[in-house]
Amino acid sequence: MRGTKQKTPAGSLLELVVIVAVALGLALGIQAFLVKPYRIPSGSMENTLDINQRVLVNRIGNNFGDPGIGDVMVFHPPIGATEGGPNCGTDIPEGTLCPQPTEDKDDVNFIKRVVGLPGDTIRVVDGRVIRNGQRADEDEFVNLRFCNGGDNCTFRGQIKVPPDHYFMMGDNRGASDDSRFWGPVPRDWFIGGAFATYWPPKKVGLL
């Protein structure tokens, strides 16, 4: 009967390195193509998502279907959405919605909720969305924080969302920098949909 060949220290070390490399490769592959963690950087999605709360973003689903009303999406905003540069892609009168974004996307990531689809007409009154002439039924979106007056709450006129663009708003309607100011977001700027929160432990659950 032949004995089992003993592993040498060098062989064991090589096996460990291979296992670690494969595990890291799988983890990076999952993050790059399937699911990516994301930290909430601001209070624009309160009360649904708090600052520093962690969510999981479905990246692969972004390639097989279009976002729908109510979906919470992570995306690249247009240049100008952050500090520096013009906010809107066209000149607009003060107090009106931005109808189009600047041409290029920013490198940063934003998280907001889809409130308008391609071809929709959008108005915003008292922080509530008027979609295609009817007030959107947003009560199903739990923990919305509506406006209490101020410049972010009511806008004059309406816009039509361009083809392949989506109108995005934060749940904290009085304190969210969103499509009201820098326009609808092109479809190919989306990273993926947030589908669950995993931190802190008391907030674990599906969105």
Name, in order, each residue with C-beta under 8 angstroms of 107's C-beta and a sequence gap of 6 or more. Answer: 76
Name, in order, each residue with C-beta under 8 angstroms of 58's C-beta and a sequence gap of 6 or more. Answer: 34, 35, 192, 193, 194, 195
- The type of residue at 64 is F
Strand order in the sheet with 121-125: 134-135, 128-131, 121-125, 159-160
Catalytically annotated residues: 44, 112
Strands 121-125 and 128-131: antiparallel
DSSP 8-class letter at 67: -
Question: In terms of DSSP H, where are the helices of the chain?
Answer: 9-33, 179-182
